[in-house]
Amino acid sequence: MTITEESRHALHLRLDEVLGPEAASTLMTAVPPMGWHDLATRTHVSEVVEALDQKMTGEFRAVRTEMATESAALRAEIASESAALRAEIASESAALRSEIGALRSDMATESAALRGEMSAMAATLRGEMTTGFAEVRGEIATLRGEVSTLRQEIRADVRSVALQVMFAVMGTMVALALAAYTVGTHR
């Protein structure tokens, strides 16, 4: 038999008549609103808890297994990617070292060529300087000769002028002496 709300209400009304309203309410509160077969027993609850525990344990085990599998796959993928990255880095490093070696070789070649050019330019410059210094020394020697010649000419000219001045002064002195003599004798 199924207990409905109407049948519970009818029972409550009858209990009010027989036991009184307070006792009827207390009894109706103690009686479950459904059939006794719908009530769970401790054994039933224990069985449900045990079944739930087993199910949860199985689910946790499955999750752990799946996580372990995924973790292993992820580790393998990371290891593979790491190996590929290391290989790529090694390849790029080797290529970079090769480029650096080529650059060093080019720099050494260019440096040697530059040193050769600089040595040639230095030799040319030394030669030009030697020639220039020789020309300057020649010009200085020529100038010294010209200066020496000029000195001699100037000395000769100074002697000639000095002699002329001396003769002129002597002529003037003689003329003055004659004039003084003539004036002194005429007096």
pLDDT of 94 reads 95
Burial class (CB in 10 A: 0-12, 13-18, 19+), 154: exposed
* 35: confidence class by pLDDT, cuts 50, 70, 90: low
- The span from the CA of 37 to the CA of 49, in Å, is 19
Q: What token pair was written down for 172?
A: 């003037």
Q: Is residue 132 over pLDDT 80?
A: yes
Burial class (CB in 10 A: 0-12, 13-18, 19+), 25: middle
pLDDT of 28 reads 86
